[in-house]
Chain A
Amino acid sequence: MSAALFNLFLDAIWETLLMVGVSGLVTLALGGPLAVVLVTTAPGGVFEAKGFNRALGAVVNAFRSTPFIILLVALIPFTRLIVGTTIGIWAAIVPLSIAAIPFFARIAEVSFREVDRGLIEAAQAMGASRLQIIWNVLVPEALPGIVAGFTITLVSLISSSAMAGAVGAGGLGDLAIRYGYQRFETTVMVAVIVVLIAIVMAVQMTGDYFAYRLNKR
């Protein structure tokens, strides 16, 4: 690998980490609350609203069922509205987040739903408001599952980010396609794969560690 190629490689790692990191944070910030809304408005939830819940569920499913590469293109006008451009890293972060938010929300929703109803009843019996129930019961009890779910989301973001080359965002996946595949630079291909494996493993192990530490059940 030449020095120039090596620099491209370092840039690509940074681009991937940036894309995954920022869209991961956005996903956490928006997908978490979305999961709370999904679970609390569901039948039997503390903010039960069946019609709203069904409608929201349908929207979430629509985003979940659209392949990412199509979402990437379809969201171009929206991306322009949010970040002012349709190419580059920031242009990729918007569709990455939009795809990951419903994904993470569904996973987190499952963790929230697994919180024992008896705990919610106990909190109600001690005079907790509905927001207090969410914050003092649902979130802490579901946290280990949510951390595990967020780990899965990050890994899936890493894999989606490989498609970000389609909007000129660069990243490891883009490098592998343009150099490793199209220019037959096998070394680049192998290096990218090795680095991706390392990143995914690091993410997974960190996530597992925290999920384990948080789980007091």
Chain B
Amino acid sequence: MTNSAATSLPAGDAGEAARTAPAQRGGRVTFDDVGRTFETPDGQVCALREVGFTVEPGEIFGIIGRSGAGKSTLIRTVNGLERPTSGKVLVEDARGGVFDVGSLTVNELTLLRRDIGMIFQHFNLLSSKTVERNVGLPLRLAGASRADEARRVTELLALVGLSDKRGRYPRELSGGQKQRVGIARALARDPGILLCDEATSALDPETTLSILALLKDINRRLGLTIILITHEMEAIRQISDRVAVIEKGRIVEIGPVWKVFGDPQQPATRALLTPHANELPDDLAGRIAPLPSSDSAPVFDIIYTGAETGEPNLGAVFDVLGHDARLLHGTLDRIQGHAQGRLLVAAPAVPAHEATHVLALLKKLPPRAEIIGYVSGSL
């Protein structure tokens, strides 16, 4: 529905009418050895170095990193709000046109930006304009008529579920509603790419989920490419297809979300994951000793990274550990259809001197496993 509307708009950009199926709408973004340094009074600061990867059309691509890691700079190179000091950012639209963002003239950049929507952490809505006028702003800037603007705004507000807020001012809206206005505004000119700059970081957890669901829905229905940067695991976990971890301006890890989250290779990734990793509960941690004693049982830390075929096989685990094995602690989660988690199991039937042998058997299952210590006392 949004597509037919786009074609009825005045051809502010010549190829607008050429778009047909939503499925082919998303743009492709290629970062080719991108670097960005800033001159500061304290010398050069390197915000990005040797960043190279491609975001495919229709994909939801997450970029996660701590604050100051360079993710804001990175996402801003896509629409030219930041220019790389080395390397190239190539944006390919659905019609096959390729733009080298860093080398565009002001006018070309304006045209490119009309095909790239952006939403922000603090929404950045005009406080002096109603919802309707905010959403219609990109259309007015491109010279759409009042009638076209009104029609498109009606569709967009329906899409984000805010049809009843048309005449309200941003201050009358909740944070989630403001971000919905931001999303409607970003989609006004039917872009092929949507950039999300910490779009849910200012929202409460529940609203975050609803905004993420809306983004996912938009991605499915309109087929546009979404690039989101965040420091929140949740935003990536919920909707992203692939994720890149950025640390000190470098991409340190990249891949499908389940893979990067289930089996993080880099300290930076693990640090970001830590709040979600299951720490040992205090009472349990206090009972686990590094060395065996006469009445202690080895504790096996069994990790499911999501790379295993099939679901975790508990029977096989207990065959190895013995049937009086006790589950001390554990979590299991599904990301993109992959079961991931960690089980802490004490095995009183395994004598201390056989523990390493049993561990080797366990590893053939093939969960990843460690012996993290020995627990004594009654189980």
A interface residues (Cβ-Cβ under 8 A, vs B): 116, 118-119, 121-129, 132, 136-137, 140-141, 143-144, 214, 216-217
Q: Do most interface residues of chain B lie in helix, strand or loop, or is the interface mixed?
A: mixed
Which residues of chain B are within 8 angstroms of A119 by Cβ–Cβ distance? 124-126
CA–CA, A217 and B125, complex, Å: 11
> A140–B128 contact, CB under 8 A?
yes
Task: Check if B126 sits within 8 Å of A141, measured CB to CB.
Answer: yes
Q: Across the two chains, which residue of chain A brings its CB closest to B168?
A: A216
A207-B140 Cα distance, complex, nearest whole Å: 30
Distance, CA A127 to CA B188, complexed state (A): 12
Contacts of A214 in B (CB 8 A): 128
The docked-state distance in angstroms from the alpha carbon of A19 to that of B126 is 36
B120 touches A118 (CB 8 A): yes
Per the bound structure, the CA–CA distance linking A162 and B106 in Å amounts to 51
B106 CB contacts on chain A under 8 angstroms: 129
> What are the residues of chain B within 8 A of A127 when measuring CB–CB?
109-114, 138, 141-142
1/0 per residue, CB under 8 A from A, across B311-343: the answer is 000000000000000000000000000000000
Query: In the docked arrangement, what's the CA distance between A112 and B79, Å?
Result: 25
> A101 to B124, alpha carbons, bound, how many Å?
31
Enumerate chain A residues within 8 angstroms of B111, measured Cβ to Cβ. Answer: 127
* A158 → chain B closest CB, angstroms: 29
Q: A175: shortest Cβ distance to chain B, in Å?
A: 42
A216 to chain B, nearest CB (A): 4
B185 touches A126 (CB 8 A): yes
In B63-86, the 8 Å CB interface with A consists of 79, 81
Enumerate chain A residues within 8 angstroms of B120, measured Cβ to Cβ: 118, 121-122
> Which B residues fall within an 8 A CB radius of A?
79, 81, 106, 109-114, 116-118, 120, 122, 124-129, 137-138, 140-142, 169-171, 185-186, 188-189, 195
By secondary structure, the A interface counts as: helix
Q: How far is the CB of A135 from chain B (nearest CB, A)?
A: 10
In the bound complex, CA of A186 to CA of B92 (Å): 81
Would you give the shortest CB distance from B125 to chain A, in whole angstroms? 8
Residue of B nearest to A117 (CB): B124
A18: min CB distance to chain B, Å: 33
State whether A126 and B113 are in contact (beta carbons under 8 Å apart), knowing that A118-B120, A118-B124 are contacts in the complex.
Answer: yes
A127–B106 CA distance with the chains assembled, in angstroms: 10
Report B-chain residues with C-beta under 8 Å of the C-beta of A132. Answer: 141
Choose one: A116, A125, A217; the contact of B113 (CB below 8 Å): A125
Question: Is B124's CB under 8 angstroms from A122's CB?
Answer: yes
A/B interface sample: 7 pairs, CB < 8 A: A116-B122, A123-B141, A125-B116, A126-B188, A128-B110, A137-B126, A140-B126
